[in-house]
């Protein structure tokens, strides 16, 4: 039987309609039954675009190949009637910013317990270190792009490594530079920051939110199963 949006209870629609996180519901053949406004924005679809009964390749052919593995994971969810969580890193939204998301896929049942398909929720990937826990801090959302910065991409990559306590030798190996070149670049970074030591360096980063930043060079589009 070909399911339609009307087969989804009104309570579910009301619950998801204004939810801030992207949600969609798909049938057993991975055809869309419903998506909320946040999912429209996540996929960069115009509001009101008709998605019911269509697969991803019909509404977003430019990303359907990337999400092919998602359909396979959905098949497993339907077969086992067990949810899975995925770490998906890709270019989403109108700005197409590379961003990691946690995507939870649940089996979706009708009112009498028959499986209809799957329901998925995407949420920005939070970062929570042991030190954050000890200091009573809330999880942070990782970012891969900064709106304005005086640092070059190479400097931002170096800042990331040094903030996460890599040694000068390790940074040199990661960036394929000599230790002398790393020393010179680090000195230049300190001058731009107006700091003179590691303590000032780390304070500068925390004060400006750079501790939540991952250089785009270190992020790649991928879909990974979370154990």
Give me the residue spans of the domains in the chain.
5-124, 130-218
Mean per-residue pLDDT, 181-188: 94
pLDDT digits over 18-31, tens only?
999 999 999 999 99
Find the helix or strand (DSSP H, E) in which 34 lies: strand 32-35
Contact 17, 37 (CB under 8 A): yes
- Say what percent of the chain tops pLDDT 70: 96
> pTM, whole model, 2 decimals?
0.76
pLDDT digits over 76-102, tens only?
999 999 999 999 988 888 888 788 899
Residue 81 has φ and ψ, to the nearest 5°, of 55, 40
Confidence of residue 122 (pLDDT cuts 50, 70, 90): very high
- Say what percent of the chain tops pLDDT 90: 52
Find the helix or strand (DSSP H, E) in which 191 lies: helix 179-193
CATH superfamily assigned to domain 5-124:
PAS domain (3.30.450.20)
DSSP collapsed to 3 states, 95-112: CCEEEEEEEEEEEEECCC
Contacts of 94 (CB under 8 A, 6+ apart): 41, 44
Range 130-218: architecture per CATH: Orthogonal Bundle (1.10)
Q: Hey, what long-range contacts does 106-110 have (CB within 8 A, 24 or more apart)? A: 106/77, 107/77, 107/78, 107/81, 107/82, 107/83, 108/25, 110/7
Confidence of residue 1 (pLDDT cuts 50, 70, 90): low
pLDDT at 79: 94
Return d(Cα 23, Cα 7) in angstroms, integer: 17
């Amino acid at each position: 039987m070909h399911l339609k949006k009307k087969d989804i209870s009104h309570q579910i629609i009301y619950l998801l309609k204004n939810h801030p996180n992207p949600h969609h519901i798909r049938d057993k053949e991975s055809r869309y039954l419903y998506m909320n406004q946040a999912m429209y924005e996540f996929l960069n679809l115009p509001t009101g675009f008709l998605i019911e009964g269509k697969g991803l390749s019909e509404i977003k052919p430019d990303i359907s190949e990337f999400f092919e593995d998602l359909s396979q994971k959905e098949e497993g969810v339907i077969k086992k009637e067990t949810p899975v969580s995925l770490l998906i890193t890709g270019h989403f939204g109108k700005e197409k910013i590379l961003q990691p998301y946690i995507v939870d896929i649940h089996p979706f049942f009708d009112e009498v317990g028959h499986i209809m398909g799957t329901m998925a929720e995407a949420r920005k990937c939070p970062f929570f270190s042991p030190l954050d826990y000890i200091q009573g801090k809330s999880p942070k959302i990782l970012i891969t792009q900064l709106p304005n910065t005086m640092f070059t991409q190479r400097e931002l990559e170096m800042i990331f490594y040094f903030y996460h306590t890599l040694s000068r030798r390790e940074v040199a190996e990661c960036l394929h530079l000599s230790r002398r070149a790393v020393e010179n670049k680090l000195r230049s970074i300190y001058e731009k920051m107006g700091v003179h030591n590691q303590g000032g360096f780390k304070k500068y980063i925390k004060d400006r939110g750079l501790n939540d930043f991952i250089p785009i060079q270190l992020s790649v589009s991928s879909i990974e199963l979370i154990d």
